[in-house]
Amino acid sequence: MIITNTFVNALSRVMRKAFFTTIEKIEEFYPVVFNVEEEGKGSRPFVDEMTLVGFGYVPEKPQGAQLTYDKAYEGFVTRYVYTTFGLGYRVSKEMMLEDALGIIPQLPKALAYADRQSVETKVWNILNLGFAAGVTGADAKPLFSATHPLRGGGVFSNTAAAATLSPTSLQNAIVNAFDLLVDDRSLPIVRTAKYLVVHPNLEKTALELIKSAYIPGSANNDINVQYERLQIIVSRYLTSTTGWFVLGNKGPLGSDAHAAKVIWRWKDNFEQDKDFDTKSIKNSLDYRYTFGWTDWRATYGNPGL
Distance CA 135, CA 57 (A): 34
How many Å from the N-terminal Cα to the C-terminal Cα in the chain? 65
Tell me the whole-structure pTM to 2 decimals.
0.91
- CA dihedral over 127, 129, 132, 135, signed as positive or negative: negative
Phi, psi of 256 (to 5 degrees): -75, 70
Distance CA 229, CA 194 (A): 8
Local confidence band at 55 (pLDDT 50, 70, 90 cut-offs): very high
From residue 22, give the alpha-carbon distance in Å to each of 27, 36, 41, 112, 286. Answer: 10, 21, 25, 6, 16
Mean pLDDT for all residues in the chain: 92
Asked if the structure places residue 116 within a domain, the reply is yes
CATH of the domain at 154: 3.90.1690
Residue-by-residue DSSP string for 273-294? EEETTTTEEEEEEEEEEEEEES
Task: Write the pLDDT tens digit of every residue in 126-159.
Answer: 999 999 999 999 999 999 999 999 999 999 999 9
Asked if the structure places residue 211 within a domain, the reply is yes
Task: Write the pLDDT tens digit of every residue in 259-305.
Answer: 999 999 999 999 988 888 887 889 999 999 999 999 999 999 999 99
Local confidence band at 3 (pLDDT 50, 70, 90 cut-offs): very low
From residue 8, give the alpha-carbon distance in Å to each of 11, 87, 109, 263. Answer: 5, 21, 19, 36
What value does the CA radius of gyration of the chain take, rounded to a whole number of Å?
25
Report which of 217, 128, 209, 200 is spatially closest to residue 165, judged by C-alpha positions: 209
Distance CA 236, CA 42 (A): 34
Contact 148, 181 (CB under 8 A): no
Asked if the structure places residue 256 within a domain, the reply is yes
Contact 304, 164 (CB under 8 A): yes
Report which of 160, 180, 163, 168 is spatially closest to residue 300, judged by C-alpha positions: 160
How many domains are contained in the chain? 1
Asked if the structure places residue 225 within a domain, the reply is yes
Asked if the structure places residue 20 within a domain, the reply is yes
Task: Write the pLDDT tens digit of every residue in 233-253.
Answer: 999 999 999 999 999 999 999
Asked if the structure places residue 22 within a domain, the reply is yes
For residues 57-62, give the mean pLDDT.
94
Share of the chain above pLDDT 70, in %: 95
Q: What is the pLDDT of residue 52?
A: 94
Asked if the structure places residue 69 within a domain, the reply is no
Of 19-28, 153-162, 184-193, 251-260, the least confident: 19-28
78 DSSP β-pair partners: 49
Asked if the structure places residue 70 within a domain, the reply is no
Q: Give the domain range for residue 139.
A: 5-57+75-302
